Amino acid sequence: MLTPSNPFSVPASSSAEIWQRLEARRPAPLRFVLHLSRRTNASLCPCLEVDLPSSSSPHTFYTVTRILDPEHRTPYITLSSIFFAANLTLISGLLRFNLSPVSFDLSLAGLEPWDDLWIGLPLARHIASQLGLASALAAILDGRSSAAWSLDEFEDGLSHNWRVPQQFVDAASYSTDAITDPQLRFAGVQMLPTGQQIKTLISGEMRSVIARRANERRRENKGRLHESLMRWSSQLYSLWIDARLGLQGEKQWEEKDNEKEGRLRALLDDLKDVVVPPTNGDFSEWTQLLPTSSADSDPLRPKLDPELHEETTCELLSPLSLAELAELRSTDPTLGHILTSDEGEDAEETIARLHSFLRARMATLHRMNVLSFPHLCLADEGEGHGGGVDLPQESSGGARIHAAPSQTQREEKGRDEELAELHTKLDRLTTKLDSLLESQTLKLARRSSAESATPKGMLAGDKDKPRADIFTRSVLAHAQPPLSALTNIEATPSLIIIIVSVVLFFMIVKFSDD
C-alpha cells in the first residue's frame, strides 16, 4: 500500500520529477568536518555532516550536523536543519512534536560549535521518520555508528574509533587532510574493533584556519541571525510549556474556587520577572541582521547617502550598536509589568490575557522565521568547503543552497566516462597490435634475407633435383609478390582474436555514441 512517504503515492508530472523524488530518498552521503568548540581550551569539535534537500525545493540544501563526542553516550544532532528541510519553522516544529524543554539543548557546556536545538540520536531518528526524511538521513542517523567518536588531543592529534571506509581513503594516504578533504563524501563510517584507535595529526596551520572561520561566522550577520532565532524560539517555547502545564491542573481534578485562585496566582508570581521574546530589542536586532540588499535585488534597496543627508539624519537612522541593543533590552517589560491586573480582575482573566500575549509572540516569531528562510540558506560563495560531484557544499551551522546537476547531466557524464574508458582500452589494444605487426614484418624480412642467401634459391631438399626445376621455381618465386605481414597474421589464431576484439570495441563505442 502506498504511503505519503512513497515517491509514487502521488502521480508525477514528468520523469524529471520522478527522478527528483527518488534522489531525495537516497541516503545523503557523509563528510567529516572539524569545527571549533566553545570551550576555553579552544579544542576542536569533530563532526559528521550531510546536506539534506528541502522537501519543497530539491535544489535547496540544509546541513545536518552530528557531533562525534566520546563524553556522551548518545550523539547530538542539529534539529533546526531537519525542521527547515521539512518546511517547518523552529516554533512550529517544536509545537508539532510537543517536545519537552529538557529533550533539547541550546548549548552543550561548550562542546557545541554554535547554538542550535541539539537533540539525541534516538529523538532525531523519530522526528526524521515522522517527517518522511528517514531515508535521506539514513547514513548520519545510523544507530550502528552511534558509538563513533573522535577526540582532539592537541599536540597528539586526533584519535578516532572509526575510519572512513577503505574504498574512499586507503591506509597509505589516511590522514587528517585526506579525511577532511572538501571533495570527499562516503556512504557510512567503519567502526574499528573494540579497543583499537586511529591517530591522525593536525597542523597548527589547519587549527588556525578552523579558528579563523569560526570567529568570522560568529561575527557575520548570517550566523548571528541563526543563533538568535534558536535562542528566541527555545525561550518562548519553554515559557509556553511552563504556562500550559500550570493551567492543566484544573482539568485533572475538581478544585475549589479558592484553591484554583491560589494556584493561578502562584503561576503568575513565578512568571512575573520573565521577559518574553521576541522583545522590542529582539525585533530591532532581527531587522538589522537581515541583509539590506542582494545581488539579484532589482532595484537595489535605498541606502543613506552622506552627500544627500545631514550628519544628524545619518546618525539617527544608522543601525544600532550592540551596546544600544543591550540598553534597549534592559527596558523591555517583564510579564509581571505587562499582566498587572486591574482592581477587580480575577486570576482567570489575567491568565486569559497571558495566553493571548504568548500566542501573539509565537505568531510573531513564526513570521520572523518564515521571512528569515531565504537568509538561513547561505548562498555558495566559496567561503566553505567545496562540494564534490553532484553534492552540495559544507556549511557551518546555517544551511546552504546549491544547484544540483540534473538527471540528464548525470547520465551524460556517466556515458562520457564510459566512453573515455573504452577509448583508453582501445588505444592500448591498438598499440599492442602495431607492435605485433612490426614484429611479424621483421620476421618476414629475416626469412626473406635468409632465403636470398641460398645460392640460386637452392633449398636443402633441392640438391638432388634437376637444375631446370630449380630454375623454374626460382623464377616463379621472383615473379610472385612478396608475402605480406597481414597474410602471416591471418594464420595466427591469437592475432585473429585480437582483431575481433578491436572490432567489437569499435561496435561498442558506436553503440554508446548512439
pLDDT of residue 117 exceeding 90, the answer is yes
Q: What is the mean pLDDT of the chain?
A: 77
- How many angstroms separate the CA atoms of 68 and 179, rounded? 14
Average pLDDT on 295-322 reads: 65
499 compared with 512, residue with greater pLDDT: 499
Residue 239 DSSP label = H
Residue 143 DSSP label = G
* Beta strand extents in 217-361 (DSSP E only): none
Evaluated on CA atoms 108, 163, 159, 36, the torsion sign reads negative
**Looking at 70-74, 361-365, 439-443, 473-477, which range is the least confident one?**
473-477
- How many angstroms separate the CA atoms of 499 and 501, rounded? 5
- How many angstroms separate the CA atoms of 137 and 148, rounded? 17
pLDDT band at 321 (very low <50, low <70, confident <90, very high): confident
CB of 384 closer than 8 Å to CB of 394: yes
- How many angstroms separate the CA atoms of 509 and 424, rounded? 11
The 3-state DSSP class for residue 350 equals helix
- How many angstroms separate the CA atoms of 35 and 289, rounded? 23
Q: What is the percent of the chain where pLDDT is above 90?
A: 43
CB of 86 closer than 8 Å to CB of 55: yes
Query: What is residue 178's predicted lDDT score, i.e. its pLDDT?
Result: 96
290 compared with 50, residue with greater pLDDT: 50
- How many angstroms separate the CA atoms of 465 and 123, rounded? 103
The string of pLDDT tens digits covering residues 219-239 is 998 899 999 999 999 999 999
**Helices 407-453 and 15-25 meet at what angle, rounded to 10?**
90
Q: What is the largest CA-CA distance in the chain?
A: 149
**Helices 257-271 and 347-376 meet at what angle, rounded to 10?**
40
- How many angstroms separate the CA atoms of 163 and 266, rounded? 55
Contacts of 436 (CB under 8 A, 6+ apart): 489, 495, 498
Query: What is residue 451's predicted lDDT score, i.e. its pLDDT?
Result: 57
| Residue 228 CB burial class (10 angstroms; 0-12, 13-18, ≥19) | buried
Query: What is residue 37's predicted lDDT score, i.e. its pLDDT?
Result: 96
Percent of residues in the chain assigned helix, strand, coil, to nearest 5 = 50, 10, 40
Nearest to 22 by CA among 64, 58, 65: 58
* Beta strand extents in 290-403 (DSSP E only): 377-379, 399-401
| Residue 25 CB burial class (10 angstroms; 0-12, 13-18, ≥19) | middle
The string of pLDDT tens digits covering residues 443-474 is 666 666 665 555 544 444 444 444 434 333 34
CB of 211 closer than 8 Å to CB of 36: yes
402 compared with 78, residue with greater pLDDT: 78
pLDDT of residue 266 exceeding 90, the answer is no
Query: What is residue 241's predicted lDDT score, i.e. its pLDDT?
Result: 92
Quote the cell numbers at residue 53: 534537500
**Beta strands 150-152 and 198-200, pairing class:** unpaired
β partners of residue 378: 400
CB of 176 closer than 8 Å to CB of 158: yes
Q: List the alpha helices (DSSP H) in 318-391.
A: 322-330, 335-338, 347-376
Nearest to 159 by CA among 114, 123, 202: 202
User: Helices H, strands E: what count in the chain?
Assistant: 18, 12
Residue found under cell 605480406: 484
HSE of 396 in the Cβ direction (CA atoms, 13 Å)? 25
Residue 56 DSSP label = S
- How many angstroms separate the CA atoms of 58 and 61, rounded? 7
